[in-house]
Amino acid sequence: MKRTVIIVVISIIVIPVVILISQILPAKSDGQLYTPIQQPEVQEEREYETKTIHISIIGYAYSPSQVIINKGDRVVWTNQDSVRHDVNGDGIEGPLLSKGETFSYTFTEAGTYNYICTPHPYMKGLIIVVE
């Protein structure tokens, strides 16, 4: 009786499971089963279109005061105050700007660039350049 129960259990449970697995997993040419491995998609290297980021100088502050950009992007600062300001620090050397004047700088190297306004050193800005 126990042997009959075991055979029935095997035929009802185990055999359908084996058949199901054999349908899911494709066979190798030598008849052995394996789990297929998905190959990652190879992405073509796309050329990055550079951007221009605008920073206002207004109310004795850079706005926004911190930006994250990509290597090759250009930042344009525009003075909207009635007093003169500049952008200087970490390789950036801009002239004193009167109201309405702009200064631009293209960031060709990844890194962190801190800058200030020379006449008003409490005015601080930060550019983070990523690859």
Percent of the residues in the chain that have a pLDDT greater than 90, as a whole number: 61
Q: What is the pLDDT of residue 3?
A: 73
Query: Per the omega criterion (within 30 degrees of 0), is the bond before 64 cis?
Result: yes
Does 125 fall in a domain? Answer: yes
Which CATH number belongs to the domain containing residue 91 in this structure?
Answer: 2.60.40.420
pTM given for the model: 0.65
Report the C-alpha gap between 94 and 15 in whole angstroms: 78
How far does the chain reach from its first CA to its final CA, in angstroms?
A: 73
Q: Which residue has the tokens 């394996």?
A: 34
Does 9 fall in a domain? Answer: no
Does 32 fall in a domain? Answer: no
Does 31 fall in a domain? Answer: no
The total number of structural domains in the chain stands at 1
Q: What is the pLDDT of residue 87?
A: 98
84-107: per-residue pLDDT in tens? 999 999 999 999 999 999 999 999
Q: Is the pLDDT of residue 60 over 80?
A: yes
Q: What is the pLDDT of residue 129?
A: 97
Does 59 fall in a domain? Answer: yes
Mean pLDDT (the chain, rounded): 84
Q: What is the pLDDT of residue 13?
A: 73
- What are the C-alpha distances in Å from 130 to residues 53, 71, 73, 81, 82? 14, 6, 10, 30, 34
Does 85 fall in a domain? Answer: yes
Q: What is the mean pLDDT of residues 11-25?
A: 65
The answer to whether residues 81 and 99 touch, using CB atoms and an 8 Å cutoff, is yes
Domain span holding position 65: 52-130
Q: What is the mean pLDDT of residues 64-77?
A: 97
Does 72 fall in a domain? Answer: yes
Does 10 fall in a domain? Answer: no
Q: Is the pLDDT of residue 77 over 90?
A: yes
